[in-house]
Amino acid sequence: MQQREIVVSGIRSTGFLHLGNYFGAIRQYLHMQHTHVCYFFVADYHSLTTHQDPTQLRANVYRVLAEYLACGLNPDEATLYVQSDLPETAELYLLLNMLAYKGELEKVPTFKEKIRGKHEGINAGLLTYPVLMAADILIHRATKVPVGKDQEPHLEMARNLASRFNQKFGFLFPEPVAFSESGELLKVPSLDGKGKMSKSENEMATIYLADSDDLIRKKIARAKTDAGPQAPNSPKSPEIENLFLLLKLVSAPETVAYFEQAYDNCTIRYGELKQQLADDMINLVRPIRERAAELQKDIETLKKIRKTGAEKACASAQQTLQLARSMMGIRYDE
């Protein structure tokens, strides 16, 4: 019998989950939980790099866990846990930091983007964020990591650290790869045409899994468009490409084909497109929002799922950490 591959991924507990999280990662979690050994966590340590409000952290962690479940993750199929409930990750993070170099960390695109225009208040956790992410993955010796396109540089760092450890101390870690079922890592565009949907950027340009029907319609109505095609089969502007990408994510193929043909024929009405896009987004988001709201009322069940998941994750993590410590010479009682 072929052994199932190990998959690891997590989402930070900052703010509300959005369509970028759903299509970039969670939708793949839903399929992979049935075919792989899966560890999906709530990344509360990662959220601390942006000075998380301590009074909000608990609520944020349980909200993300509730939204995981509301999207369809099954704790009987996949191991669901909170990052800080796994102390082995923090120790492996420490060990991997000894193999990481300041220069390579400073070149990570996401770090450069985060510090752009800043000269103070740049904490070490932000710099070594990719090392902690590598520890999250390598602690379970995962081979696949379902993430969005923006996380690809972090996966490269995880591979580098795995290779560096293996060369120096002997083989322990497979080199993990960013994975997408479609074969192409996804970046869900912002409604304002400026980059990707994000928890920290323009909230009116991001569709959250907790948004009301009316708010979704309002956000879609405000999405940036252009004057429309001036000739048949014209290329689309970036703003219109964004709307069509979102349409492809949430709408039926025949709906997409209808609007593609209307665009090519110069008969498209952006108001109609936006109305259809809003309807289909609401159909996706509403049941998740309502289920998550119900789950958040049952904190005791969420606690039980969290603790059970931590116990399962610890069994894997302890084995890996024990091997890593021994291979590095940290074995003084032998």
46 and 90 fall within a common domain: yes
Q: Let me know if residue 239 belongs to a domain.
A: yes
The per-residue pLDDT for 118 is: 64
Task: Count up the domains in the chain and report the number.
Answer: 2
Q: Is 236 tagged catalytic? A: no
Q: Which residues are annotated as a binding site?
A: 12-14, 20-21, 136, 148-150, 188, 196-200
279 and 303 fall within a common domain: no
Residue 34 makes CB contacts below 8 A (sequence gap 6+) with 77
Cα separations in angstroms, 181 against 28, 53, 112, 147, 167? 7, 36, 29, 11, 31
Band of the pLDDT at 183, cuts 50, 70, 90? Answer: low
Q: Let me know if residue 101 belongs to a domain.
A: yes
Average pLDDT, the chain: 89
Query: What is the average pLDDT across 59-63?
Result: 92
Band of the pLDDT at 178, cuts 50, 70, 90? Answer: confident
Q: Let me know if residue 192 belongs to a domain.
A: no
Burial 273-300 (b: 16+ CB within 10 A, else e): bbebbbbbbbebbeebbebbeebbeeee
What distance in Å separates the CA atoms of residue 44 and residue 106, rounded to the nearest whole number? 23
Q: Which domain holds residue 166?
A: 6-187+299-328
178 and 266 fall within a common domain: no
105 and 45 fall within a common domain: yes
| H helix or E strand, kind and range, residue 54 | helix 54-71
303 and 289 fall within a common domain: no
Q: Is 196 tagged catalytic? A: yes
Q: Let me know if residue 334 belongs to a domain.
A: no
What distance in Å separates the CA atoms of residue 188 and residue 244, rounded to the nearest whole number? 11
174 and 288 fall within a common domain: no
pTM of the model: 0.89
Q: Let me know if residue 333 belongs to a domain.
A: no
User: How do residues 234-281 score in pLDDT, each as one tens digit?
Assistant: 898 888 988 998 999 999 999 999 999 999 999 999 999 999 999 999
User: How do residues 89-147 score in pLDDT, each as one tens digit?
Assistant: 999 999 999 999 988 888 876 766 666 666 666 777 788 889 999 999 999 999 999 87
Closest to 319 in 3D by CA, of 207, 123, 173, 159: 173
Determine which one of 144, 187, 196, 274 is catalytic.
Answer: 196
User: How do residues 291-301 score in pLDDT, each as one tens digit?
Assistant: 999 999 999 99
Q: Let me know if residue 127 belongs to a domain.
A: yes
232 and 324 fall within a common domain: no
Q: Let me know if residue 37 belongs to a domain.
A: yes
The per-residue pLDDT for 1 is: 45
Q: Let me know if residue 77 belongs to a domain.
A: yes
